Structure 1
Amino acid sequence: MEASAIEPKDMLDKTQAKFKFVLELPFGLQNLGNTGYMNSTLQCLRVIPELQESLNRFTSGSSVADKLTISLRDLYNNLNQATESVVPLHFLQLFRSVFPQFAQNTADGFIQQDAEECWTQIISILKQANIPIPSQHSSDGEKVSSSTDESFIDHYMTGEFTSTLKCLEAPEEGEIVIKENFTKLNCHISILVNYVQHGIMMGLDEKIEKNSPTLRRMAIYDKTTRISRLPSYLTVQFVRFFWKSDRRVKSKILRKVKFPMELDATDFCTDELKNKILPLKNRLQELEKERKGSKESTQFAVNNNVQDTVTDSKNNEIVEEIKKLIDPELNKDIGANVSGLYELCAVLTHIGRSAESGNYIGWVRKENSEDWIQYDHYDDDKVSIVSQEDILKLDGGGDWHIAYMLLYRSKKIA
């Protein structure tokens, strides 16, 4: 009798807990017929809070880029206030009118499109619209209004390459140094690539053919590329699709390529940038080891309501120490990564054997949690919670969902 008397309360508690859990889930975007490529891209980019703030600061204009940007802003605001799944019809119609290739269809309806191409076009539109950077904060925490002339994409999602070209056939020829911007890193896949870091490095060191002013003919050059600026948000694309001429289709490389939840980008950087970020990076990694080592004692203090003012004081000292290790030039560079360390915040996957078939879905890290949100691959408006272990299983090697695009954000330093 005593047990049965407790049962209703237990059931109520479980029901309330489940209801609270459901309320914490975001709402999805409805699939309008092979629009998973777009929905997954939008959900992945939505994980960037600074992007949403920048969109809300955007002053409307009359260009097509401005109109599409306004539509994206409104779509994100609708999602943030939604009580049910959202239909992205207006954005889709505008997007197809600006980029007609995404409006291709057959008698069976609109055809599947490439999510990477969609991602790239959305970033290019936001760059053209010149959405402003979010409001900045002074050292004492006060919000400072920033200029609307500074581009969010340029500051927060664009890095810089510095490439050095050496002619192998004319060693006496002087080196050529080229600087260029990038909005994503490519992970090239071969039988030698098992980790995303290896695939990225493969694309940074290559041999190219170009005209030699010394030899006055085409010659082979060693091209060594390194990153001279790291953005706050780093996009990585797995180069998984290739054109198969005999079947006239973009086939897919299914090879397993592991990717980390935390990425150290130092090895991709120029020596100059390494020297700027290493003191802070090394100290942050030391503190992470110390934190993991003291996790059990910290949990004991929490469980026993121990108020450790000494620990609070030490944490303040560490924060001040870390701030002093930030390179002054990088500290002035709004939207730059100052430590070289990143954490994974979104994954866009593809399931299927070719780019023209299968489906794309987005997997987004839940705010202040190690859990992730999965947007269902059959109905994009359905949402579920998955673990970090589930995300690590997206590395390929079979017919399950395989990571195609990764979005990393700068690790918090204080």
Structure 2
Amino acid sequence: MAITVSVKWGKKKFDDVKVDPAGSSDAFRATLEGLTGVPAAKQKLLCKKGWPGILKAGAPLSATSLSEGAVVTLVGTASKLAAASEKVVFVEDLPRSALASAGAALPPGLANGHNNICYMNATLQCIRAVPELCQAAREAAAGDLPPGAAAGVASALGHLFEEMAHKTEHDDVFPAGFLAAVRAAHPVFAEVAPNGIPRQQDSDEFQNALLGDLATALVKAPAAGPAPLAPPLRGSGRSANVVDSLLGLELDTTMTCDEAPDAEPPVRRTDTQLKLVCNIQGGGGSSTKVNFLSEGLRLAMEGSTEKRSEVLGRDALWTRKSRISRLPPYLCVQFMRFYWQAHTDAAPGAPAGSKFKIKRSVAFPANGLDMFDFCAPDLQKALTAARDKHAREEESRRAARDAAGASADGPAAKRAKEAELPSSSSSSSAAAAAAAAAAAASSADADDESALEAAVSASAEGSSSGTSSSSSSSPAAPEEGVALPSPYAMPAEFEGIYELFAVVSHAGPDAESGHYTGWVRQGKPGSGSDDWVNFDDETVSSCKTEHVLGLKGSGSDTGDIAYVVFYRAVK
């Protein structure tokens, strides 16, 4: 029965390559020759978990440990161009529905239609950038959902996302069905002003309502996504669902009485939520100045409050400290920019107060958001285990690179003939194995990345063959009982590092006025792409990371300021 493996060749990677583990390696080499153009006789194949050293020509694969999902490194130079496996289709011949997915056109915007729904449009563009959530909604819309308002919202969202999947920036998409479902489920979003125009709403309040509905309705993992779903959030009262699996956080909170720390026992609880809050303090008279996202997160997770002390028999000052015990694959953060202020001279029938805006500039990173310091000790242990393992692997790469450089003298042909990788019983050192692999790679005239990959693989083989080495890449398992991040849709061996991929911004003096826009990063997750798309209702335009980072705020009522930011786990 055939299995699928991934093949790395220089800077290219071929996924889902079929191979018969009971067949001959020659058949596998023939397949690779068709993919890459590297002649079978000149291929050098390495697989750290499949076989020691370089796979010998004609060796039966049944004698190896090649398994499903293994990564095979190919070293060699193509002597001919690989035959095209698919018919070449030119961009101008693509149907409009395929242009966006091919990157030849920008994705579609969402029309406002004088409904004051920019808050909804901006949020939906960001939610659509979470592929697992988008796919789950589309699949739910095509299947059977139980009756209820939440299911109606989820179904309407799935139909909307399905329509948008076949449109581009040149098409007008008006979310009429979804808007009707939301207003039926949440009448607050159907309110109109005295002039008859629909009221502007807070995008964060809309997001909370939407995610609550989706958490109720989307209880099955999408067919194309990872499975099973993450366990239910502790104390949430909800069963396992897609929303909690993707965005759910658990925080361990401890409250200590400052006035009776020895007599009053600490109060501990677990909080569950779908976002973190970045508190903002600044301006005249404030002792705390928040200039960066990390400072605002810490301010929200640590603080003081008044609470009754049973020991003292009165209200006392307590210190609160929260730490994350479960990290999600997608992290949402809301900047606390709006605050409520009552109107002391409000006329009868007029609003009792308004939400005013804090315009202070707060910077946030596009890459490398490190959540380690905000995690509970048990979760930090799990993240540390992954970080230590990756540090050892990096040390192994460095040693291999040094070994490859040291063996660079001498004719390439001679190095190729003399190179011989050790077997699993060899007592050669890891550095010697790395040098031999580097020499073999050089003889194949492969590019630097292929040679380095070979050296790293050989170094790992050598260090596991009876010779102790401080640069061993064997994983360090977390201690028993150590908490792990949510396993659903998480990168393997997650270190707690996130990258920015979507932003909802707001321009205007308060939450009930102004304008919301969405910003979504393009490119593969973890690639560090500098390309973004700005969604201003139906107007769609390209922009760069520098424009998005400029949303940190400048104190202006007219400029866009980040209100809700979305990060995804990458490392």
- Shorter-normalised TM range: 0.7 to 0.9
Q: Which runs of 5+ in 2 are unaligned?
A: 1-89, 94-98, 232-238, 283-288, 345-352, 402-441, 462-471
Aligned to 1:10: none
Aligned to 1:170: 260
Is 1:353 paired with 2:353? no
Residues 313-342 of structure 1, C-alpha deviations (whole Å, 9 max, x = no match): 357689998893575863783345732110
Aligned to 1:90: 177
Aligned to 2:433: none
Give the residue type in structure 2 aligned to 1:154: D
More moved, 35-44 vs 337-346: 337-346
Q: Percent identical across equivalent pairs?
A: 32
Aligned to 1:113: 201
Secondary structure of 1:386's partner? strand
Is 1:72 paired with 2:157? yes
Inter-CA distance 92–279: structure 2 relative to 1 (3 Å threshold): same
Q: Distance in 2 between matches of 1:203 and 1:232?
A: 21
Q: Distance in 2 between matches of 1:323 and 1:152?
A: 33
TM-score when scaled to structure 1? 0.82
More moved, 380-389 vs 122-131: 122-131
Secondary structure of 1:394's partner? helix
Inter-CA distance 24–113: structure 2 relative to 1 (3 Å threshold): same
Secondary structure of 2:321's partner? strand
Inter-CA distance 324–24: structure 2 relative to 1 (3 Å threshold): farther
Q: Distance in 2 between matches of 1:180 and 1:257?
A: 26
Is 1:263 paired with 2:263? no
Match of 1:237 among 334, 344, 347: 334
Residues 30-85 of structure 1, C-alpha deviations (whole Å, 9 max, x = no match): 11321100000000011001112222443412111011101101111110112512
The structural deviation recorded for 1:94 is: 1.0
Aligned to 1:50: 132
Q: Distance in 1 between matches of 2:134 and 2:314?
A: 50
1:215-294 superposed matches below 5 A: 215-246=312-343, 248-261=353-366, 262-281=368-387
Give the residue type in structure 2 aligned to 1:166: T
Inter-CA distance 147–342: structure 2 relative to 1 (3 Å threshold): closer
1:323-402 superposed matches below 5 A: 324=475, 327=478, 330=484, 333-335=487-489, 338-368=494-524, 369-376=529-536, 380-399=537-556, 400-402=559-561
Secondary structure of 2:290's partner? coil
Aligned to 1:4: none
More moved, 47-56 vs 342-351: 47-56
Please say which structure displays the higher CA radius of gyration: 2
1:140-151 superposed matches below 5 A: 150-151=240-241
Inter-CA distance 331–244: structure 2 relative to 1 (3 Å threshold): closer
Inter-CA distance 329–243: structure 2 relative to 1 (3 Å threshold): closer
Secondary structure of 1:350's partner? strand
Aligned to 1:408: 567
Inter-CA distance 326–221: structure 2 relative to 1 (3 Å threshold): same
The structural deviation recorded for 1:310 is: 2.1
Secondary structure of 1:93's partner? helix
Q: Distance in 1 between matches of 2:473 and 2:544?
A: 31
More moved, 282-291 vs 331-340: 282-291
Q: Which has the higher contact order (CA 8 A, sep 6+)?
A: 1
Q: Distance in 2 between matches of 1:45 and 1:112?
A: 20
Residue 44 of structure 1 contacts residue 364 of structure 1 at CA under 8 Å; is this kept in 2?
A: yes
Residue 139 of structure 2 contacts residue 158 of structure 2 at CA under 8 Å; is this kept in 1?
A: no
Residue 325 of structure 2 contacts residue 483 of structure 2 at CA under 8 Å; is this kept in 1?
A: no
Residue 280 of structure 1 contacts residue 322 of structure 1 at CA under 8 Å; is this kept in 2?
A: no
Residue 127 of structure 1 contacts residue 153 of structure 1 at CA under 8 Å; is this kept in 2?
A: yes
Is 1:24 paired with 2:24? no
Inter-CA distance 285–353: structure 2 relative to 1 (3 Å threshold): farther
Residue 301 of structure 2 contacts residue 323 of structure 2 at CA under 8 Å; is this kept in 1?
A: yes
Q: Distance in 1 between matches of 2:329 and 2:474?
A: 17
| Off by >6 Å, runs of 4+ in structure 1 | 19-22, 143-149, 285-291, 315-323
Secondary structure of 2:454's partner? helix
Secondary structure of 2:137's partner? helix
Q: Distance in 1 between matches of 2:447 and 2:511?
A: 56
Residues 265-303 of structure 1, C-alpha deviations (whole Å, 9 max, x = no match): 111111221111023246658989999xx9xxxxxx9xx
1:196-211 superposed matches below 5 A: 196-211=293-308
Give the residue type in structure 2 aligned to 1:404: Y
Inter-CA distance 91–225: structure 2 relative to 1 (3 Å threshold): same
Inter-CA distance 307–219: structure 2 relative to 1 (3 Å threshold): closer
Residue 373 of structure 1 contacts residue 383 of structure 1 at CA under 8 Å; is this kept in 2?
A: yes
More moved, 276-285 vs 144-153: 144-153
Q: Distance in 2 between matches of 1:283 and 1:170?
A: 43
Larger fraction in helix: 1
Q: Which runs of 5+ in 1 are unaligned?
A: 1-12, 138-142, 295-300
The structural deviation recorded for 1:155 is: 1.4
* Corresponding pairs, count: 381
Inter-CA distance 184–26: structure 2 relative to 1 (3 Å threshold): same
Secondary structure of 1:76's partner? helix
Secondary structure of 1:344's partner? strand
Match of 1:184 among 254, 275, 279: 275
Match of 2:190 among 103, 110, 126: 103
Give the residue type in structure 1 aligned to 2:106: L
- How much is the aligned-residue C-alpha RMSD, in angstroms? 3.5
Secondary structure of 2:296's partner? helix
Residue 251 of structure 1 contacts residue 353 of structure 1 at CA under 8 Å; is this kept in 2?
A: yes
Give the residue type in structure 2 aligned to 1:312: E
Residue 186 of structure 1 contacts residue 239 of structure 1 at CA under 8 Å; is this kept in 2?
A: yes
Inter-CA distance 36–305: structure 2 relative to 1 (3 Å threshold): farther
Secondary structure of 1:356's partner? coil
Residue 281 of structure 1 contacts residue 340 of structure 1 at CA under 8 Å; is this kept in 2?
A: no
Q: Distance in 1 between matches of 2:378 and 2:230?
A: 29
Q: Distance in 2 between matches of 1:64 and 1:237?
A: 26
